């Protein structure tokens, strides 16, 4: 019997999503991971939630500090993007182009895009940047860049947000396993125990 | 040199506040703890935030499940109160009455009130219930019940919310140490490292 995959839901313009992406493989207990980028803004329209930063004080300064401190707690050096939140539509489509053409590289691409953004300070809203990152992960960057405007790829990125809502997902990162929901990079310790020792 | 206290901010109508209250002593690294109940509703009026449960799906079912699962992750058996959120004003005043008359028992009273609510299913909006819990922690329950309407105690409970805001606190539980802020029971692992090994 093949174990059902761990569904890893995330939005690229989500700092804690990046922390989750760095940790998910280590906590997945050998299960396959399904990478599910989606546009959190589309979900927020339904739930009424707001982006992490941009709500004013005392929250803005907290999240900026907490992101850096929490990343460092896990050994990661990060920096908030200069522009935040940013439009993750192109990066999201890029992942679904990879899923359609080289699904085994989708996770590598997602992580490379995230690292470019939060570790290396690159702007992953730019198609040329995305194509260059895709090439570095072994994909055909030029074909990927052209594919970002294909109707089927655009639709796939839209559908992902609907699928997230249908799965009860309302934030980033989010993990679903066998119908059980875990919200936030904070919950990955529970994900690890769930996958290695079962429900408690 | 005496180490500065760990400030533990919490609202009684906060399920994760209860988890935090159960864990705070173990993670405080021997530092004294200052228990700071406050009325989160007064803070939410300023920040625009909303109670955990009552925002509809998909959040309500998530938080109800996550609270029970997260508590069990730490070995605690809990139950959501039948009425939630509830008015924590009397329980909050009771703690400040204890602070004024027997400060060494304030933490015991806070934890006893929390356990009565989330572990034992009691309604801690009821003055008689609060007085009985106070008596069980060695306080004069009758004097405490009478003290809940003293102007100075009422004012102290109001002031606590202003002090929370002034400290940059916007949720429950919240820990402040030497000006560093940690939001949520999820952050107690970081609190523990901060207090035992210093900043990272």
pLDDT band at residue B2 under the 50/70/90 scheme:
low
| Chain B contact probe: residue of A19, A47, A50, A58 with most B CBs at under 10 A | A58
Left, alpha or beta for A168 (phi > 0: left; psi -120 to 50: alpha)? Answer: left
Q: Return the pLDDT at B1.
A: 54
B53 has a pLDDT exceeding 90: no
CB-facing half-sphere around the CA of A160: CA atoms within 13 A: 27
Counting one residue from A and one from B, how many pairs have CB atoms under 8 Å apart?
61
Block mean pLDDT (10 aa), chain A, length 200: 86 98 95 97 89 88 97 97 95 98 98 98 97 98 98 98 97 96 98 94
Is B62 in Cβ contact with A170 (below 8 Å)? yes
Question: The tokens of B137 are what?
Answer: 């922690």
Asked whether the beta carbons of A189 and A34 are under 8 A apart, the reply is no
Asked whether the beta carbons of A78 and A68 are under 8 A apart, the reply is yes
CA distance B117 to B71: 14
Q: Return the pLDDT at B71.
A: 98
Q: Tell me which residue of B42, B43, B64, B66 sits closest to B55, measured CA to CA.
A: B64
What is the set of domains in chain B, with CATH numbers? 6-197 (3.40.30.10)
Q: Return the pLDDT at A47.
A: 87
From A55, A168, A189, residue closest to B62, measured CB to CB = A168
Is B181 in Cβ contact with A65 (below 8 Å)? yes
Q: Return the pLDDT at A50.
A: 85
Q: Is the pTM of this model over 0.80?
A: yes
B148 has a pLDDT exceeding 70: yes
Q: Tell me which residue of B156, B116, B154 sits closest to B135, measured CA to CA.
A: B116
For range B180-185, the mean pLDDT: 98
The answer, for A62 touching chain B at a CB cutoff of 8 Å, is yes
Interface of B with A in 125-184 (CB under 8 A): 165, 168-170, 181-184
Q: How far is CA A78 from the centre of its chain?
A: 15
**How large is the ipTM?**
0.95
pLDDT band at residue B50 under the 50/70/90 scheme:
confident
B9 has a pLDDT exceeding 80: yes
Asked whether the beta carbons of B88 and B13 are under 8 A apart, the reply is yes
Q: Return the pLDDT at B47.
A: 87
The C-alpha torsion from B81 through B83 and B84 to B88, rounded to 10°, is -90
Find the closest chain B residue to A187 by CA distance: B186
For range B22-51, the mean pLDDT: 93
pLDDT band at residue B104 under the 50/70/90 scheme:
very high
From B73, B169, B200, residue closest to A72, measured CB to CB = B200
Q: Tell me which residue of B104, B70, B88, B96 sits closest to B159, measured CA to CA.
A: B96
pLDDT band at residue B55 under the 50/70/90 scheme:
confident
Q: Return the pLDDT at A83.
A: 93
Find the closest chain B residue to A75 by CA distance: B200
Q: Tell me which residue of A127, A135, A82, A137 sits closest to A104, measured CA to CA.
A: A137
**Contact residues on chain A for B55, CB-CB shorter than 8 A:** 47-48
Q: Return the pLDDT at A2.
A: 65
Q: Return the pLDDT at A42.
A: 92
**Contact residues on chain B for A200, CB-CB shorter than 8 A:** 69, 72-73
**Contact residues on chain B for A57, CB-CB shorter than 8 A:** 168
Percentage of the residues of chain B whose pLDDT score is greater than 90: 91
On average, the pLDDT of chain B sits at 96
| Chain B contact probe: residue of A62, A63, A170, A197 with most B CBs at under 10 A | A62
Asked whether the beta carbons of A164 and A155 are under 8 A apart, the reply is no
CB under 8 Å to A149, separation ≥6 — which residues? none
CA distance A115 to A121: 8
Q: Return the pLDDT at A4.
A: 86
For range B141-157, the mean pLDDT: 98
**Contact residues on chain A for B186, CB-CB shorter than 8 A:** 184, 186-187
In which residue are the tokens 């655009």 written?
A: A154
Percentage of the residues of chain B whose pLDDT score is greater than 70: 99
CB atoms closer than 10 angstroms to residue B136: 13
**Contact residues on chain B for A189, CB-CB shorter than 8 A:** 73
In which residue are the tokens 């609510």 written?
A: B117
């Amino acid at each position: 019997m093949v174990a059902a995959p761990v569904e890893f839901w995330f939005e690229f313009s989500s700092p804690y999503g990046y922390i989750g992406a760095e940790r998910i493989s280590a906590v997945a207990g050998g299960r396959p991971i399904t990478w599910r980028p989606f546009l959190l803004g589309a979900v927020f329209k339904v739930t009424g939630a707001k982006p992490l930063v941009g709500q004013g004080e005392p929250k803005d300064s907290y999240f900026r500090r907490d992101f850096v401190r929490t990343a460092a707690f896990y050994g990661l050096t990060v920096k908030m993007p200069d522009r935040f939140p940013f439009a993750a539509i192109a990066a999201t489509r890029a992942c679904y182009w990879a899923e359609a053409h080289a699904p085994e590289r989708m996770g590598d691409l997602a992580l490379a895009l995230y690292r470019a953004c939060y570790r290396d300070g690159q702007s992953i809203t730019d198609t040329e940047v995305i194509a260059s990152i895709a090439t570095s992960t072994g994909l055909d960057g030029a074909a990927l860049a052209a594919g970002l405007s294909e109707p089927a790829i655009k639709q796939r990125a839209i559908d992902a947000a609907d699928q997230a809502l249908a799965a009860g997902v309302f934030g980033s990162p989010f993990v679903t396993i066998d119908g059980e929901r875990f919200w936030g990079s904070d919950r990955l310790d529970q994900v690890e125990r769930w996958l290695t020792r079962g429900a408690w």
